[in-house]
Amino acid sequence: MSRREAEQLGLFPDKEVRNKEADEPWKKSETDRMLDQYLAGAQPNRIAQMLGRNPKAIKRRLEQFAYNERDRAVKYKPFRRVSRKGQRLTENEKEWIRTFKERGISPKVLAKVLARDVSEINPDTKSPARINDGKQVAPTLDLVLAYRYAYHIYKIRIISDKEYDTLKEEEIEYGAGLKALGTSRGDIPQYIKSLALYLVKKYSKKDGS
């Protein structure tokens, strides 16, 4: 068995395989670089080489984040992170998403650690049902106008931005929404205001707000 194989199996005492910098206190920039590299797909051994630390030290610190030991993930404050917004999820990210959800850690905390938007890791399950529900009482264009009014006036987002943008684009392209959606808030008809208020009260109650 080679020395390298023995090291990987943990057969040598830590002091024999430890890099001299391995026990140095972690800098915020090092932690951020570790997270950036790991979440982009790099493995702990590769990250250890880049940071000049023991692979075991890298794995241990990653575990602290993944399992939120001592609120490591909750208390974490990004310093110099590389945004991962819009990028395809790596296997490492998928694993952390599963782990965080199993442990009941807030999606906002997970999004912060992954350097992503909450919407990328917490699929929207409310919007489709709310849209279908709304179509039972009003045309789609009226709903779009009401959603917009509710957001600007009551500061309530009834459906996700993604779903809203999709409905809006469909009304502009296939419906008669171009002129209506260009109306200023001061010219919004009373029935749209009433619809917006109805939706706000209905879903605010369901959301417990």
Express each pLDDT in 134-181 by its tens digit: 999 999 999 999 999 999 999 888 998 888 989 988 888 876 666 777
| Co-location of 9 and 100 in the same domain | yes
pLDDT score of 125: 72
Classify residue 187: in a domain, yes or no. Answer: yes
Which of 100, 121, 142 marks a domain boundary? 121
Longest dimension (CA), the chain: 81
| Co-location of 111 and 137 in the same domain | no
Residue with the bigger pLDDT between 88 and 193: it is 193
Classify residue 112: in a domain, yes or no. Answer: yes
pLDDT score of 181: 77
> How many distinct structural domains can be found in the chain?
2
| Co-location of 29 and 109 in the same domain | yes
Boundaries of domain holding 182: 127-202
| Co-location of 66 and 40 in the same domain | yes
Q: 3-state DSSP: the chain helix, strand, coil percent, rounded to 5?
A: 65, 0, 35
For the ranges 10-24, 36-50, 118-132, 148-162, the lowest mean pLDDT is seen at: 10-24
Classify residue 103: in a domain, yes or no. Answer: yes
Classify residue 207: in a domain, yes or no. Answer: no
Q: Using alpha carbons, list the distances in angstroms from residue 140 to 52, 68, 145, 147, 162.
A: 58, 43, 9, 10, 15
Classify residue 209: in a domain, yes or no. Answer: no
Average pLDDT over residues 112-124: 83
Classify residue 171: in a domain, yes or no. Answer: yes
| Co-location of 102 and 166 in the same domain | no
Q: How far apart are CA 22 and CA 59, in angstroms?
A: 12
pLDDT score of 31: 96
| Co-location of 77 and 168 in the same domain | no
| Co-location of 26 and 98 in the same domain | yes
Region of 78 (left: φ > 0; alpha: ψ -120 to 50; beta: rest) is beta
Q: How far apart are CA 22 and CA 30, in angstroms?
A: 12
| Co-location of 33 and 67 in the same domain | yes
Q: How far apart are CA 148 and CA 72, in angstroms?
A: 38
Q: Which two tokens stand for residue 111?
A: 């999004």
